[in-house]
Structure 1
Amino acid sequence: MSKNMIMAGLVVFVLAVLSPFWLNLITSTQAAPEPELLGKAAKVKKCVLDKYEMRAEHMYLLDVWRDSVVRDAARKYTGTNGETFNMSLSTGENSCLGCHEDKAKFCDSCHDYASVSPYCWECHTNPKEIE
């Protein structure tokens, strides 16, 4: 094998390995949308967990809640601040949609940005949709 072929192969390899970095330099990235806090959530400014934990762990928390409600018939959750919350996606006092009233502005904006399709709404009905 000639020295020129080896060098050409190395150049192609380096270009292929570094291409994602160069592509990242020339493309723009859009920041994740801030979920709109409407209704009670805009006034209360507290949740089950702090804002950063909720963003990172809300799907895990909802899975734990689902298992607790369905398997153990537990309906109350005590948050890190000591307050009790209903383990429910429905509207109502101290529940998810009780504070975050507009699913489209709160949930869907981030899920669309992240290109994820949560399966919550296969079983749960968004109260805004049935009104």
Structure 2
Amino acid sequence: MYNKGTIIPGLAIFVLVVTFPLWYNAFSTASPAPKPELPPGGEKNCVAPESVMRASHMQLLNEWRDAVLRDNKRDIITVDGKQYRKGLQLACMQCHTSKEKFCDSCHEYTSVKPYCWDCHLTPADVVSKKETH
């Protein structure tokens, strides 16, 4: 076999480089995921169970946005006898009143920059705008 002295070390280096993320994650310790502050009643009062909301809240919000803005379907959602209007401010922020304690804690941990707040006001902004008018 030709160039045996360079092929085997090259393959070894290739395997190390390709598997580096696996080795790195196996031996490093990540900080624990944050526990966002839940409103009184916790997940019992939410539109979906905590596991669903953690995994797919953005898909739910996008579906609501599309239904309300594009299809003009402003249906009211009823969960356990409680009614919610579709919307970030109309449903979610009624209970989760602190963006910093609820939304930002997880989004900072996962390095996600949601674009929700490009259009929506946080509850604190709504209060401050009412006070100035």
* TM-score normalized with structure 2 length: 0.80
Q: Distance in 2 between matches of 1:117 and 1:60?
A: 15
Question: In the aligned structure 1, how far is the partner of 2:19 from the partner of 2:72?
Answer: 53
- The answer on whether the counterparts of 1:111 and 1:117 sit within 8 Å (CA) in structure 2 is yes
User: 1:9 is paired with a residue of what secondary structure?
Assistant: helix
* Off by >3 Å, runs of 4+ in structure 1: 79-83
Counterpart CA distance in 2 for 1:78 and 1:5 is 65
How far the C-alpha of 1:14 sits from its partner, in A, is 2.0
Alignment correspondent of 1:89? 88
AA aligned to 1:15 is: L
Match of 1:122 in 2: 118
Q: CA deviation at 1:119?
A: 1.0
For the 8 Å contact 1:33–1:109, the answer to whether it is kept is yes
Q: Deviations over 1:61-109 (max 9, x none)?
A: 1111112221333333425656431112226xxx211110101110111
Give the letter aligned to residue 24 of structure 1: N
> Which residue does the alignment assign to 1:43?
41
Q: Percent identity?
A: 45
The change in CA–CA distance for 1:115 and 1:48 in structure 2 (over 3 A counts) is same
User: If the length of structure 1 is used for normalisation, what is the TM-score?
Assistant: 0.81
Q: Equivalent residue for 1:3?
A: 4
TM-superposed CA distance for 1:21, in Å, is: 2.2
Segments of structure 1 that go 5 or more residues without pairing to the other structure are none
What is the identity, as a one-letter code, of the residue corresponding to 1:57?
Answer: S
